[in-house]
Chain A
Amino acid sequence: MDNSAKHLLQRLVRRIPVSMLKSTLDKWERLTAEKRKSLDFTQSKWIITQELVALYITENPNQGMWHTFQLVEPEDDAHSVELMQFKELFKSHLRELQRNVSVKIKKHTDQAVWIRVAWGDGLSSPNHLKATYVVLYLQTPYVFVNALSSKHKPLLLQALTLSTRHQQIKAANLSGQKLTALRDLLMRQYQQVKLRVEKVQAEASANRHRMARETFGDGMLPALQSAVFKLETKFKGPTNEAMTQRDEPFICSVKFSSSNLLESLRHCASSGIASTPVTPMLSSIPLKGRNYFVITDNVLTA
């Protein structure tokens, strides 16, 4: 998460005397009355600061880097896991794996379950400055994670798998800064396949437009910002014999960046810059809901 904003918030709150904290926040009017009510001002200032930082992050989820995971192999009762049950299971599983963690779980009105984990270990108390954030929707297989260290990764993933009653969790190869874009892409909450009985247009440009729309969707597209293609293919070039003769694959990585990648690609297809029908390399992004691909000589690997 954006450390500067967090530190700024912490420094500000530290300078405000406790007695004036509530009235200052009321005057600031940045938080809704409901959210202000949820803050318990009898707690220590440190805890209040953490709650404010958590509020800030849930309101500004499009920062930092979110990575997506997918839960697979559901148990028979996976579909009937409800919130209370999940909360208890997750907390108990995580605490079994790592002592001294601070876990806060809250469900938002859009059914998103937000989890905040502050990690400590046997010796130190939980570090609230470097908390991990998890967002998931019960009964859907996708989990979004932010600020997770490699040390804590296996612990968190195991706790998630067990508490949602699945057998495995795997990386979904979709990451980006904008949580809302990742979520919309996977929840398919945008105009995708359009059923139209259209006559085959003689005009090439109308065809391109149609194919571009069919592939990427209509209207507003989720604001995905990047896609990475890692190539591990043999070098093919008519001019460079030395490289072509090599047996080892030529490893290179291609990254597409944009303020709205899907819109850019759609525009490329409809204007003819990208040839239509759209190559599966590009159409896989909305179709499979991924933005990281490894391409080997034979096939686009999953």
Chain B
Amino acid sequence: MEGASTRGVLSHLSLLEVQARSRGSQVPQQPSRVKELKAKVEALTSQRDQLKAELQIHKKLQKLRAPVDKQRVDGEDEEMDVDSESSELFHLMARHSELMDLLHAHNLIGGYDAITTNRGKSMCFSLATQYEGVYLDTYNLELNLKPNVRISRHNIPPFIPLNSLAEQSDLQTDVRAFLATVSQHLNAFAGRRQQLKLVKEQHKSVEVMESNLLCSILVLMFTVPKKTPLLCTLEYTDHTRCLPTQVHLNCEDELLPDSPKWKKNCSLLMEVPVHRALTAIKKASDII
């Protein structure tokens, strides 16, 4: 009898112990949950404040706008009267359909994607670049059509001389030629940049000493098997091409650049994209 009651008490005690232990592991969870909820409250409060502020501003603006909006509506009517002068409208329509036809034809022969924006007053062209079958960046260029053709928004980097290219090809009469030139410059740039990337990836033993944003100059350091460093400068002065226009070699051993082997390598570098030329040169064991 005594044994039974002690067992009962002991088991009860151990049960309590287990309970206390499990409760002990739960307690630390609560503060983090509280933290979570507090953060949520903060976020919601700031959102509420933001919305309240916006609401206030909208109310104020509505009051201020009421007389102005009326003016604007009247103003717009006036504008439309001017616009509906036949000659100008027809001119715009003719211009618009001429460009649309041109683009349609161009698209059919692999031209650029284009859409009208700004209620038909502008056109946005999408110029894709690719190199060796790989699609690279796409650039967008928007042209305003009225009153005359002007470059509007674009995301073409500033080292592509967009404005001078626009001056060279007459934007007003030959949009296609202008776009073709821009696309040529962009594709050549993308190609040169891609070649640089491949050189860095595929030829870790070749050190890139210098390049620039336009990728129009590339200075590489080769290690010739007898451990002589050889400096190779590739100049891409024709920015519409992916291949260099000049290749210079500099070496402590002045005879090396004039050797028939390296003369051959120089002409290879002028004819073949640099990353592939380097593979061939490496294969011939001319560089490490």
Contacts and interface: CB of A to CB of B under 8 A. Distances in A.
A204 interface: no
Interface stretch (A184-192, A225-233, A250-258): A184-192
Contacts of B235: 80
Contacts of A83: 210, 212
Contact of B213 (A138, A188, A196, A272): A138
A80 B237 CA distance: 7
Interface residues of B, number: 32
Interface stretch (A59-67, A139-147, A155-163, A173-181): A139-147
Main secondary structure of the interface of A (DSSP, over half): loop
Contact of A273 (B57, B152, B156): B57
A79 interface: yes
Given A80-B216, A272-B58, A273-B54, A141 B158 contact: yes
Contacts of B212: 82-83, 111, 138-139
Given A82-B212, A138-B213, A195-B140, 11 more contacts: A79-B214, A79-B216, A80-B216, A82-B217, A111-B211, A140-B158, A189-B157, A192-B154, A195-B124, A271-B54, A277-B118
Given A79-B216, A82-B210, A188 B58 contact: no
A71 B211 CA distance: 21
Given A139-B213, A271-B54, A195 B126 contact: yes
Contact of A139 (B57, B140, B155, B159): B159
A82 B235 CA distance: 10
Contact of A214 (B113, B117, B126, B141): B117
Nearest to A192: B155
Interface in A81-100: 82-83
Nearest to B156: A188
Contacts of B113: 195
B54 A111 contact: no
Interface of B: 54, 57-58, 61, 113, 115, 117-118, 124, 126, 140-142, 152-159, 161, 210-214, 216-217, 235, 237, 239
A221 to B, nearest CB: 13
Nearest to A196: B115
A287 interface: yes
Nearest to B51: A271
A287 B155 CA distance: 10
A214 B54 CA distance: 22
A197 interface: yes
Contacts of B153: 192-193, 287
Nearest to B117: A214
A137 interface: yes
Contacts of A140: 157-159, 213
27 contacts: A79-B239, A80-B235, A83-B210, A83-B212, A137-B213, A139-B212, A139-B213, A140-B158, A140-B213, A186-B158, A187-B157, A187-B158, A188-B158, A189-B157, A191-B155, A192-B155, A193-B124, A193-B140, A193-B153, A194-B140, A195-B113, A195-B115, A195-B124, A196-B115, A273-B58, A273-B61, A277-B118
Contacts, number: 73
B54 A197 contact: no
Interface of A: 74, 79-80, 82-83, 107, 111, 137-142, 186-189, 191-197, 214, 271-273, 277, 287
B119 to A, nearest CB: 9
A247 B240 CA distance: 55
Given A187-B157, A188-B158, A195-B113, A287 B214 contact: no
Nearest 8 interchain pairs by C-beta: A139-B159, A192-B155, A193-B140, A139-B214, A140-B158, A188-B155, A140-B159, A193-B153
Contacts of B158: 140-142, 186-188
Contacts of B239: 79
Contacts of B61: 273
Nearest to A138: B212
A181 to B, nearest CB: 16
B142 A80 contact: no
Most chain A C-beta atoms within 10 Å of own C-beta, residue among B118, B142, B212, B216: B212
A140 B159 CA distance: 5
Given A82-B212, A139-B212, A197-B115, A192 B140 contact: yes
A124 B180 CA distance: 56
A272 B142 CA distance: 25
Contacts of B213: 111, 137-140
A287 B157 CA distance: 13
Nearest to A107: B210
Given A192-B140, A271-B54, A273-B57, A80 B217 contact: yes
Contacts of A111: 211-213
Contacts of A191: 155
Nearest to A111: B213
Contacts of A142: 158
A80 B235 CA distance: 8
A273 B65 CA distance: 11
A194 B153 CA distance: 10
A82 B113 CA distance: 36
Contacts of B57: 273
